[in-house]
Amino acid sequence: MTKQFTRDELVARLVRAGELEVSGEDPAEAATYFDTDNFRFHGPDGFESDFAGLNSYFAAVREAFDDRLIRRGIVVAEGDHMACQTWIEGTFVREFTQSPAGPLPPNGERVVFDLINIFRFDDQGRLIEEWVRTDNRAVLRQLGAEGK
């Protein structure tokens, strides 16, 4: 029998998964919050990825930004879907190889990725799908790439 997760348990799992992806502190634990074989990521501008691609993106974020943190705002849950506001921020101190415009040199500035996410959980409480929307123009401006 599959455990039924409460809304609060799923929110806690979502928060922890985000913390681990941003910090990189325990990749094995982070993987337990995902269906690593079937996870699909749907990003801005038609970007699609799997779990390995998501990990690669967050590795690039961890490499490029110091003093990283993640915050969640309003969370709305319905069935196996959850939508929330997310802010990921850090100080841009090394090349960011996976920016929306490709590799960019650091500018030393504090950058805030302001996201709206929709997540889908499987019946084991693992993340199986994620959709993200963000204002890439605002991100690129903060990264020093406006107009590129």
Domains of the chain: 7-143 (3.10.450.50)
Predicted structure pTM score: 0.92
User: What's the length of the chain?
Assistant: 148
- Average pLDDT per consecutive 10 residues, the chain (148 residues; last block may be shorter): 84 96 96 98 93 96 98 95 98 97 96 98 96 95 83
- The sign of the dihedral angle between the CA atoms of 48, 51, 55, 61 is positive
Q: What is the 3-state secondary structure (H, E, C) of 16-46?
A: HHHHHHHHCCCHHHHHCCECCCCCEEECHHH
Query: What's the confidence (pLDDT) of residue 148?
Result: 52
CA distances, 93 to each of 61, 69, 89 (Å): 11, 15, 12
Query: What's the confidence (pLDDT) of residue 2?
Result: 66
